[in-house]
Amino acid sequence: MDPAEQPITLVPSRGDEWSRRFTVMAETVRDAVPEAAVEHIGSTAVPGLAAKDVVDLLVGVAADDVVHVARLLAAAGFDLEGEHGHHCWLSSPGRHDRDAVVHVVAHDSRSWHNRVAFRDLLRDEEDARRAYLEAKESAATSARDWDEYTRAKTSIVMELLARRPLAESAGRDAVR
């Protein structure tokens, strides 16, 4: 099945399992790209938050290396799903049966900081978690595919991020 056609299913938090999966995937990424900064992002990085059963990793590298690193990870067995100069994404084991998605971006870029800041906001603020969960549940029931699900959440993400300056994001789960 094409991931664009996969239904969106949220599951109750599996915090310990998701944390272990992140650690294993981060080690795999570090084996291929030792200089990368790696963060656990997305809902699976937020204790107690329901999520798709897919762990998101953020891999930060030099801006000029984003595409090269994505291709290295593809050679290491990840499925390269999308490639833009500033952001590439891969899945594991593959786009048809994802259990992890890896986002490669420039470290210390706006994309890097926004993703880490959003994770930290959800960890720190119960009302933000509640608002985001409500938006996720609504998106999951109405979206026909992953892209539509992501687009349906964009406004709440932007609204919640507007609450928190980028400087507050310290990236507590970095793997260096």
Note whether 58 and 171 are within 8 A (CB): no
CATH fold for domain 3-167: Beta Polymerase; domain 2 (3.30.460)
Say what the pLDDT of residue 159 is.
94
Say what the pLDDT of residue 176 is.
34
Say what the pLDDT of residue 171 is.
42
Nearest residue to 99 via CA among 79, 83, 85: 79
Say what the pLDDT of residue 96 is.
87
pTM of the predicted structure, to 2 decimals: 0.88
Q: What is the sign, positive or negative, of the torsion defined by CA atoms of 127, 43, 88, 63? A: positive
Say what the pLDDT of residue 146 is.
85
Report, in angstroms and rounded to the nearest whole number, the Rg of the chain calculated over CA atoms: 15
Give residue 46's identity as a one-letter amino acid code. V
Longest dimension (CA), the chain: 41
Say what the pLDDT of residue 43 is.
97
pLDDT along the chain (176 residues), means of 10: 68 97 97 97 97 97 96 96 92 92 96 96 96 96 90 94 62 39
Residue 102, φ and ψ in degrees, nearest 5:
-110, 125
The tokens for 24 are: 């294993």
Say what the pLDDT of residue 168 is.
45
Say what the pLDDT of residue 165 is.
64
Nearest residue to 141 via CA among 1, 23, 8, 3: 8
Say what the pLDDT of residue 174 is.
40
Residues with Cβ within 8 Å of 154's Cβ and at least 6 positions away in sequence, in order, are: none
